[in-house]
Amino acid sequence: MSNKKQIVTIKGTKDGLTLHVDDTCSFDEVLKELDHKLLRNYVDDDQPMITVSIQLGNRYLNEEQLEQLREVVRGHNKLVIHSIESDVITKEDAMEWMKDSEITSMFKVVRSGQVIDVRGDVLLVGDVNPGGKIAATGNIYVMGHLRGIAHAGINGDTNAIIAASYMKPSQLRIANYISRSPDYDTEGVYMECGYIDLNQEKIIIDRLQLLNQKRPDLSGLERRMLNG
Amino acid sequence: MGESIVITSGKGGVGKTTTTANVGTALALMGKKVCLVDTDIGLRNLDVVMGLENRIIYDIVDVIQERCKLKQALIKDKRFEALSLLPAAQTSDKSDLTPEGMVKIVQELKQDFDYIIIDCPAGIEQGYKNAVAGADKAIVVTTPEKSSVRDADRIIGLLEQEDIESPRLIVNRIRNHMVEQGDMLDVDEIVNILSIDLLGIVADDDEVIKASNHGEPIAFQPNTKASLAYRNISRRILGESVPLLSLQEDKGMFAKVKKFFGIRS
């Protein structure tokens, strides 16, 4: 094997090790080389754990291969895989991502007892009445009165937001966070949105205009890719 | 060919039966041939409110189970010819009535009557499904209470799934002094939430209860506010455009003068 072109290049950063894997050779070669390289880099037992991120370049690995790769790295002491990143995805995954970031438009009044459940974002032109519920894996936009329950990011996306022309919800839920309306009678608010403030660990209701500061990457497909 | 209208609310005790009796009576007073159909099997009331209880021989279940002809079960109103009642059964079970049976009966009634007003039982189960099955149009009755509005909303949602024209709303039992103090939902707020067309409003009035107890729907009386409200509702059903009644009590000359000059009191 010539050493002109390295199959695996190891770089140390302050966050741990980054392994750059050449994307033109065969997968078997990668595994062999990786095993070999890691073996040489012997670490002491009293050193802390080292996090490893692997850059695959333009190589696509299926689940089985990923598991093999993890297996090799785990086989060595003191190494923890932080991430495995690849620049390519399958069409299938891309379609899934697209579905997660598509906006579904609806034109109706969600009445008591009715539930709307949408994958991706939802734009509702109409009201959500008390006792009605609207849920989405992404964001929820209501052009109308939100008086019932809205649940954004039902699969755990804490970046999801809920926006409404008129906010007087009985409950707002984002990912695993829940906030409810106060026990005293209140007037609703116009043109506001709800999002999670991770510092305060709760759902905040604020003016719509602040959204582009709080969630600058709200539009676009990439946010799904970044968030997974 | 007549038109069938179901009167429903979801919640009990908001005045479905009273509304059925009075709207039917008012339509009949305007010269239409009207048949009232009570579908509240086991808890029939419409015959009592109409004062026709003692005339019942056959009922709707007898018709469905072919123990009698439809014409035999119909009771002509004691006051005038144009109005008939098809009573519910008191001893049967709700499951004795089926949606298919209702459709058949309503179709048959449509041949002879201009309007078939169907009184729906409370709830959203079998009884409701039966009542709605034969209807072309629906009227939702609600009172200005949160629970009642919530149930009306639910019913409207269910009606949307049926093959029925968009329902219209009657707000019943409005107590104006409570609305003015902010202790009761006002009509605008209710219409805003339910977002359907308003067919009419009826003020809470002891006279209505009194009249029902005497088996004389209030719509027969010429000049109470409630009877006027029901007559207006009927005129709107017939397609006339009638402004809503003012709920304000007459405040005497001074208030009228102020109103004339556009001063808000």
Would you say residue B166 lies in a domain? yes
Amino acid B92: pLDDT = 83
Residue A76 tokens read as 């060595």
Is the pLDDT assigned to residue B265 strictly greater than 50?
Answer: no
Mutation target among B140, B153, B160, B184 for the A interface, most CBs of A within 10 A = B153
Is the pLDDT assigned to residue A127 strictly greater than 90?
Answer: yes
Q: Place A1 in a pLDDT band, splitting at 50, 70 and 90.
A: very low
* Residue A169 distance to chain B (closest CA, Å): 13
Residue A106 tokens read as 């609806």
Amino acid A218: pLDDT = 79
Q: Which of A57-61, A69-73, B192-196 has the highest mean pLDDT?
A: B192-196
Residues of B in contact with A181 (CB under 8 A): none
Mutation target among B158, B162, B184, B193 for the A interface, most CBs of A within 10 A = B193
β-pairing, A177-180 with A16-21? unpaired
Q: Is B32 annotated as a binding residue?
A: no
* B64-78 average pLDDT score: 94
* A79-84 average pLDDT score: 83
The single-letter code of the amino acid at B69 is: K
* A9-34 average pLDDT score: 85
Is the pLDDT assigned to residue B155 strictly greater than 90?
Answer: yes
Of the candidates B157, B193, B194, the beta carbon closest to that of A114 is on: B157
B76 or A186, greater pLDDT: B76
Would you say residue B265 lies in a domain? no
Amino acid A223: pLDDT = 58
Residues of B in contact with A129 (CB under 8 A): 153, 193-194
Residues of B in contact with A149 (CB under 8 A): none
Of the candidates A111, A130, A147, the beta carbon closest to that of B157 is on: A111
Question: Are B74 and B84 within 8 A, CB to CB?
Answer: yes
Amino acid A30: pLDDT = 86
Q: Place A228 in a pLDDT band, splitting at 50, 70 and 90.
A: very low
Pairwise CA distance, residues B236 & B225, whole Å: 16
For helices B146-161 and B126-133, the axis angle rounded to 10 degrees is 60
For helices B187-194 and B146-161, the axis angle rounded to 10 degrees is 30
Q: Place B189 in a pLDDT band, splitting at 50, 70 and 90.
A: very high
Q: What is the pLDDT of residues B204-219, one digit of tens each?
A: 999 999 999 999 999 9
Domain ranges of chain A: 8-88, 95-218
Dump the DSSP string for B8-26: E-SSSSSSHHHHHHHHHHH
Q: Provide the β-strand partners of residue A104.
A: A122
Percent share of chain B, pLDDT over 90: 76
Please answer yes or no on whether B193 and A113 come within 8 Å at the CB atom: no
* Residue A114 distance to chain B (closest CA, Å): 7
Chain A interface with B: residues with Cβ < 8 Å = 109, 111-114, 127, 129-132, 145, 147
Strand (E) or helix (H) holding B254 = helix B253-260
* B25-35 average pLDDT score: 95
Of the candidates B154, B158, B195, the beta carbon closest to that of A127 is on: B195
* B110-131 average pLDDT score: 95
Question: Is A95-218 a domain of CATH 2.160.20.70?
Answer: yes
Is the pLDDT assigned to residue A96 strictly greater than 50?
Answer: yes
Residue A153 tokens read as 């990011």
Amino acid A43: pLDDT = 61
Q: What angle do CA A161, A166, A172 make, to 5 degrees?
A: 40
Amino acid A220: pLDDT = 61
β-pairing, A50-55 with A16-21? parallel
Amino acid A7: pLDDT = 83
Amino acid A100: pLDDT = 82
Please answer yes or no on whether A114 and B156 come within 8 Å at the CB atom: no
Question: Is A8-88 a domain of CATH 3.30.750?
Answer: yes
Please answer yes or no on whether B157 and A112 come within 8 Å at the CB atom: yes
Q: Is B13 annotated as a binding residue?
A: yes
* Residue B172 distance to chain A (closest CA, Å): 20
β-pairing, B3-8 with A202-207? unpaired
CATH code for position B250: 3.40.50.300
Pairwise CA distance, residues B225 & B203, whole Å: 8
Is the pLDDT assigned to residue B137 strictly greater than 60?
Answer: yes
B10: left (phi over 0), alpha (psi -120 to 50) or beta: left
Amino acid A66: pLDDT = 87
Amino acid B250: pLDDT = 55
B85 or B247, greater pLDDT: B85
Total count of domains within chain B? 1
Amino acid B163: pLDDT = 87
Q: Give the structural domain span for B207.
A: 3-260
Q: Among A102-116, A173-187, A209-223, B48-62, where is mean pLDDT lowest? A: A209-223
Chain B interface with A: residues with Cβ < 8 Å = 150-151, 153-154, 156-158, 160, 192-195
Please answer yes or no on whether A113 and B156 come within 8 Å at the CB atom: no
